[in-house]
Amino acid sequence: MPGRRGRGVVESKNEHKKIAILGSTGSIGTQTLEVVRENKDIEVTALAAGSNIALLEKQIREFRPRLAAVWDEEKAKELRLSVRDQDVRIVSGMDGLLEAAAQPDSQMLVTAIVGMIGIRPTIEAIRAGKDIALANKETLVTAGHIIMPLAKEYGVSILPVDSEHCAIFQCLQGERGHNKPAKILLTASGGPFRGRKREELRDIQVEDALRHPNWSMGKKITIDSATMANKGLEVMEAKWLFQVDLDRIQVVVQPQSIIHSMVEYEDGAVIAQLGTPDMKLPIQYALYYPKRRPLPGERLDFWKLSEITFEKPDMETFQALALAYEAMKAAGSMPTVFNAANEKAVSLFLDRRIGYLDIPEIIAQCMAAHKVIPSPTVEQILSVEQEVYERIESRR
């Protein structure tokens, strides 16, 4: 933990000047590059994206990485032609992601890629001695039992980029090694449908679910916030990041998104991290930890702040959160089933092939049909993911 190398979330080596970014064209990736733009002492050595080569080309021209990875080889061929005037090597596929993750010049890998595709590159980066700025929650949700011991073995830092986990990390500063948290209070905005009952959500459309009241995020994570599946994934991630038992992680709805999370200690003291909803804060904190840097943007004005309220999450209406707790209690490969089923269901919802309320039902069906593998390997995790995808598609 902080101040002790190789124990969960730990102190990073130095100020990080050279970084590689997986998922550079997504929400977290583009905001990471905004932070880089505002801090001239950070060099980007590698970028990786899925298929948005138009934006990736702009990023290559501005940030001049030595390496860029594209998932699709045909898109990679297009990019090679369009940036042939640049001193950059273009690679593709999983091999390309692995090469970007372990790029020799970088000190830190920012894993802003979405999905379990991030597991293998994260492992590759850890083995190459890179610190990890972790925004890919699926990596710990499905493979935390592999990732955390590996980080300890190689003495690298796992620094959370997620707003809530970064808040918890900040609340733990100065306490690790001295005082263990009695409880982690993981806050949630409640999403766009907070306060509604299940029957009121039957006719929800994609556009409705994409209207988050506080945060600007990618489509998948915005839908996850609307179902509260995202908070369930964060509960699983917190268990691994902070090495706490599941029954010591409590979700609290905080609609204003002012308190990003809290830690309660055994004497009853509660330490909270507050701020405006801006993902650039946790991103920059991870890049420069343990030092803080100036960050442009709005500040909390406590003279104008009228109230901060709290609510208990409605797990009957938002069943995905309850299912996440069930998956984590079952352990082994069950969190992979939850994650894969949710990922596929959200994709189907965004394509308007299923309804909003079908998402938790699909997750529950897949979990009920699964026989848990107690301690799955990476290969077994990816195999379970594929089995879940096939099960869902076969029922459509």
Residue 160, pLDDT above cutoff 60: yes
Average pLDDT over the chain reads 92
Phi-psi domain of 42 (left: phi exceeds 0; alpha: psi -120 through 50; beta: other): beta
pTM of the model: 0.91
Check: CB of residue 173 under 8 Å from CB of residue 242.
no
Q: What is the pLDDT of residues 336-361, one digit of tens each?
A: 999 999 999 999 999 999 999 999 99
Kindly report the CA angle at 127 between 165 and 149, in degrees rounded to 5?
Answer: 55
* Pairwise CA distance, residues 143 & 131, whole Å: 17
% the chain with pLDDT above 70: 94
Confidence of residue 6 (pLDDT cuts 50, 70, 90): very low
Instruction: Specify the range with the lowest mean pLDDT, choosing from 42-46, 219-223, 331-335, 360-364.
Output: 219-223
Confidence of residue 191 (pLDDT cuts 50, 70, 90): confident
Q: What is the pLDDT of residues 242-267, one digit of tens each?
A: 999 999 999 999 999 999 999 999 99
